[in-house]
Amino acid sequence: MSDRQRWRRLLGLEAAACLGLALLAYALVFRPQSAGQLATVTALATVSPAPNPTNRPASTRPADSAPTTTRAPTSTSSPSLTPTATPGLPAQVIESGAGLRLRASAGTAGEIIRELAALTVLVVLGRTEDGAWLEVTTDSGERGWVSAAYVQVSGDLQALPVTGEAVAAAADSLSYLSGITAHAREIYLRGRAMGKRDFAFSLVGDSNTDNPAFLLPYDLGSYDLGDYGDLGPTIAYFAGSFSRDSAAALGGFNTAKVLDPAQADGRCVAGETPLACEYRLHQPSVALILLGTGDQHTWQGFEARYRQIIEFSLAEGVVPVLITKADDLESLENTAPPGYINTVIRQLAVEYDVPLLDLRRAVEALPNRGCQPDGFHYNTPPDGRSAVFDAEHLQYGYTIRNLTALQALAALRQYVLYAPLEG
């Protein structure tokens, strides 16, 4: 056999092989599927859509069966479901309720889940028997309990089921009061020898002190002590000081102004600071001092000025009660470290061994720490009764201020002044 013949034979064999491969490929790609079979070859890319074969045999798969090796297509349209009514009443956190605690159970003992913003949309599902606490879901689906005082509800709460019972956190009336020591007694005795009056106290502060919601109700008889009836003798003992117009308490005052003779009013003598003027005029044995909110832009000098106020009080024989504040303006509006002024107040109370009323601690659990939306002026109950000590009214800043101030005075009367009611 010639070489040419051998080549022709080889070419023939190659042609036959190519034809066989082509037929096999055609059968695999274009052959219609048998009943129950799945295609084993899929085109990876096409230039134009493949024609829809009209001669494909109908599938014999039962209508309620599903393929075992392919995923059913996911519909992008929403399924049509029968609406289910959500039980409950629509509600909303009130505008002044920023910071309202969402708790795991009713009452202040309930674990805090998170704080809610003002105007947060809620659905009320249940309530405590007295309606003071509401079980709610938030607009993000969280479920918990909130104080009803800071929620506006549309509908009849009484129509909702009672789904929980409020449990109050353990309360220690002196947990935020410290520094009632023998040193306070020494200051008082020194002041008494100087003519200071046992039953008189003075206020030193800003607009949060110079406010008719603070202490004035005690002299007006517009109060209800509720479970705190043991504070009644203290109101009687210090009667007259609750309504006093202090020369050292005025809107806009800060530590600098209290020590500035130019800020003294017409009752004061030339060159006298508002603080010195008040102590001279009223001759108090005790001073309740709440300053620092107005020092937000001059916080760097706060400690030095506050020391002057403490040391002047000690020299005058006046027991200074240092009070922390609810706000943190020096950090929010300026460059102070967080909590700077309150930290200084606490440290100086220990250093000078004088009483500390940690108001910040007392209002910490309140919505927005008991402040108005501005974050530093204390708020009052809707009915204006800031000296009514029940669960509803004690959700507000001025009510807590009135209670804690009275508790501080009661502790001083008992442990420092040793003063009987008739004294």
Of 217 and 56, more confident: 217
Q: What is the pLDDT of residue 318?
A: 98
- Predicted confidence (pLDDT) per residue in 251-264, tens digit: 999 999 999 999 99
- Predicted confidence (pLDDT) per residue in 44-66, tens digit: 233 333 333 333 333 333 323 33
Rounded Cα–Cα distance for residues 125 and 4 (Å): 97
Q: How confident is the model at residue 115 (pLDDT cuts 50, 70, 90)?
A: confident
Report yes or no on 65 lying in a domain: no
Q: Which structural domain range is residue 152 located in?
A: 89-159
Q: How confident is the model at residue 339 (pLDDT cuts 50, 70, 90)?
A: very high
Q: How confident is the model at residue 21 (pLDDT cuts 50, 70, 90)?
A: low
Amino acid at 53: P
In a shared domain, residues 184 and 276: yes
Average pLDDT over residues 319-327: 98
- Domain limit, last residue, from 132, 159, 186: 159
In a shared domain, residues 211 and 281: yes
In a shared domain, residues 360 and 227: yes
* 368 pLDDT more than 70: yes
In a shared domain, residues 116 and 184: no
* 34 pLDDT more than 70: no
Of 366 and 34, more confident: 366
Sequence-separated contacts (24+) of 372-381 with Cβ below 8 Å: 372/96, 373/95, 373/96, 373/98, 373/118, 375/327, 375/329, 375/332, 376/208, 376/293, 376/325, 376/326, 376/327, 376/329, 377/207, 377/208, 378/208, 378/211, 378/213, 378/326, 379/96, 380/213, 381/149
* 42 pLDDT more than 70: no
**CATH, residue 113:** 2.30.30.40
Q: How confident is the model at residue 9 (pLDDT cuts 50, 70, 90)?
A: low
- In the numeric block, the tokens 């005029």 are attached to 281
Average pLDDT over residues 322-330: 97
Average pLDDT over residues 93-109: 85
% of the chain beyond a pLDDT of 70: 77
Report yes or no on 27 lying in a domain: no
In a shared domain, residues 93 and 193: no
Q: What is the pLDDT of residue 20?
A: 54
In a shared domain, residues 220 and 154: no
Report yes or no on 36 lying in a domain: no
In a shared domain, residues 148 and 208: no
Q: What is the pLDDT of residue 99?
A: 77
Of 408 and 55, more confident: 408
Report yes or no on 8 lying in a domain: no
Total tally of structural domains belonging to the chain: 2
- Predicted confidence (pLDDT) per residue in 163-213, tens digit: 999 887 654 545 799 999 989 999 999 999 999 999 999 999 999 999 999
- Predicted confidence (pLDDT) per residue in 121-135, tens digit: 999 999 999 999 999
* 216 pLDDT more than 60: yes
Rounded Cα–Cα distance for residues 250 and 240 (Å): 19
For residue 400, which phi and psi values (nearest 5 degrees)? -65, -40
Rounded Cα–Cα distance for residues 324 and 117 (Å): 25
Report yes or no on 28 lying in a domain: no
- Domain limit, last residue, from 110, 130, 159: 159
Q: What is the pLDDT of residue 97?
A: 77
Report yes or no on 322 lying in a domain: yes
Rounded Cα–Cα distance for residues 417 and 423 (Å): 10
In a shared domain, residues 101 and 207: no
In a shared domain, residues 378 and 323: yes
For the whole model, what pTM was predicted?
0.68
Average pLDDT over residues 235-249: 97
Size (the chain), residues:
423
In a shared domain, residues 150 and 197: no
Q: What is the mean pLDDT of the chain?
A: 83
Give the list of residues 6+ apart from residue 391 with CB closer than 8 angstroms, or none.
132, 166, 168
Q: How confident is the model at residue 235 (pLDDT cuts 50, 70, 90)?
A: very high
In a shared domain, residues 193 and 335: yes
Of 411 and 18, more confident: 411
In a shared domain, residues 151 and 274: no
Report yes or no on 41 lying in a domain: no
Report yes or no on 210 lying in a domain: yes
Give the list of residues 6+ apart from residue 70 with CB closer than 8 angstroms, or none.
38
**CATH, residue 242:** 3.40.50.1110
Q: What is the pLDDT of residue 13?
A: 52
